[in-house]
Structure 1
Amino acid sequence: MVIEKAYFTIHEGLESKFEATFKEAVLYIAETKGYMNYRLLKSVETERKYVILIEWETLASHTEGFMSSDRFDKFTSLVDPFLENVEMEHLAPLHSDQKTHIFVGFLDAKNYTFDLKKGMVGYSYIPIRKVGFGMPSSIPRPLVRLNQSFIFIFATGFVFFSNWLFLMIPLIAGLMGLILHFNPVLKVGKRFLKKPLNQYIPEDAEQQNFNQKIAVSLLTISFIAHMFSIEWLAITAAVLVALASFIAILGFCIGCFVRFQWKQYQYKRSQHS
């Protein structure tokens, strides 16, 4: 893992607008393969100074995967008007007293805690505070893959056997995750992880929550259609769930793409209003 650290000095009077715009601009970064998560922090002692920390799987994920893409141009076109000065470097993790709580289930960012009392990765930071939604709660990637595989197996089972139990089981598990913040599939899977949770590549819980809503919606449509003997609709919805989960296992997140496009639409609409 490599951590990109950038100091941004913002033009006077534009701090609030920068913070809001950065939330939209960072979506271009999040689409890059190898991106893990980011944190936006603001200096307590120095006005107009921000720190952006972005975790990448490799250095090339940032320098080649992002900076050489058109996403970088789109990102800078949004952020550059606010910048008075920029300093950037890459850091390699050494050791840390970082304390994180990674919850098993699909949780809100408010449930995530992060301790920056002594900094992290062996680097001394200026006094800082979190702003925006810098570091959302996360789910270890193996648990995300487990949930995707679980949905794929049961949705495919319904397509071939037309048994309502193949829909009911993942539907109940998904609803428990969304409503009770307790996903039994992830709870069981956690027991088989061999490393501490924070040593796995994290997946954004907010995004997984969005994906789960799509899966639950399609499973609900399929289940209701099956109960009313509308088999073509039941099969179609189940196939869509199975296909989306299988593609996600292969590495492409359809839900991420849909959510990104929706966020972009909202942002463009707000710019014209």
Structure 2
Amino acid sequence: MTHPTIPLNYDCVDEVPLQRVRGNQFGILLSIIASVLTQQLWILVLPLIVQLVSRQFGIKYNLFVRLFAPIFPVSEQTESRELLRFNNLLAILFLVVTLVAHAFNLHIISYVSLGMLTVAVILALCGFCLGCFIYFQWKQFIALRKIKKQ
């Protein structure tokens, strides 16, 4: 049985191979684990920078994808770039809220935000994309509002 070959380049495409998505998620999860175990939430600056760079310049420059995607099996399954950008935005928001709340000694808000990000990442690694579900619900809400206005 041969595995499908997926190009190793990171050119801009509408679909991103699943192993690259998983590599990014795994990097975020490792950062969360490291920050919680060491009680050093400033470690979360790393995934925040990685996500901001990736959002601005694309997956080609995502450090987590470069480091961790090779450990996941090559997959024919892909994720939509539009959904990934939405999920990327959610990750950035959770990380910013976590870090800002921690900086202002609002530890409950900080850990709730970090907990929400952790749950989303673990669910995503298990195959359920919470961000995709939220995105779908949002699009449905907007579509229903447009229908009601007509």
The TM tier, using the shorter chain, reads 0.7 to 0.9
Cα-to-partner distance string for 1:128-184 (whole Å, 9 max, x where unaligned): xxxxxxxxx111111111211211221233233321332111111001111222312
Alignment of 1:1-273 (within 5 A): 103=10, 111-112=12-13, 137-181=14-58, 182-189=61-68, 200-273=76-149
Cα deviation, residue 190, structure 1: 5.2
Residue 64 of structure 2 aligns with an amino acid whose one-letter code is: V
Cα deviation, residue 204, structure 1: 1.1
Describe the SS at the equivalent of 2:28.
helix
Cα-to-partner distance string for 1:173-225 (whole Å, 9 max, x where unaligned): 00111122231211334566786xxx631111111111111011010111111
Taking only aligned residues, the RMSD between alpha carbons, in angstroms, comes to 2.4
Cα-to-partner distance string for 1:61-83 (whole Å, 9 max, x where unaligned): xxxxxxxxxxxxxxxxxxxxxxx
- Between structure 1 and structure 2, the one with the greater Rg is 1
Cα deviation, residue 246, structure 1: 0.3
- CA 1:192–1:156 in structure 2 vs 1: closer, same or farther (change >3 Å)? closer
Is the CA contact (8 Å cut-off) linking 1:222 and 1:237 kept in structure 2?
yes
Structure 1 residues not aligned, in runs of 5+? 1-99, 105-110, 113-136
Q: Which has the higher contact order (CA 8 A, sep 6+)?
A: 2
Q: More displaced, 213-222 or 180-189?
A: 180-189
The TM-score with structure 1 as length reference comes to 0.47
| Distance (Å, rounded) in 1 between the aligned partners of 2:71 and 2:30 | 19
Describe the SS at the equivalent of 1:157.
helix
Stretches (4+) displaced over 2 A:
100-104, 156-162, 187-195
| Distance (Å, rounded) in 2 between the aligned partners of 1:183 and 1:155 | 17
| Distance (Å, rounded) in 2 between the aligned partners of 1:237 and 1:227 | 14
- CA 1:156–1:193 in structure 2 vs 1: closer, same or farther (change >3 Å)? closer
Is the CA contact (8 Å cut-off) linking 1:225 and 1:231 kept in structure 2?
yes
Is the CA contact (8 Å cut-off) linking 1:177 and 1:183 kept in structure 2?
yes
Describe the SS at the equivalent of 2:40.
coil
The TM-score with structure 2 as length reference comes to 0.82
Query: Which structure shows the bigger proportion of residues in helix conformation?
Result: 2
Describe the SS at the equivalent of 1:229.
coil
Structure 2 residues not aligned, in runs of 5+? 1-6
Q: Percent identity among equivalent residues?
A: 26
Q: How many residues align?
A: 141
Is the CA contact (8 Å cut-off) linking 1:159 and 1:239 kept in structure 2?
no
Is the CA contact (8 Å cut-off) linking 1:156 and 1:238 kept in structure 2?
no
| Distance (Å, rounded) in 2 between the aligned partners of 1:193 and 1:158 | 23
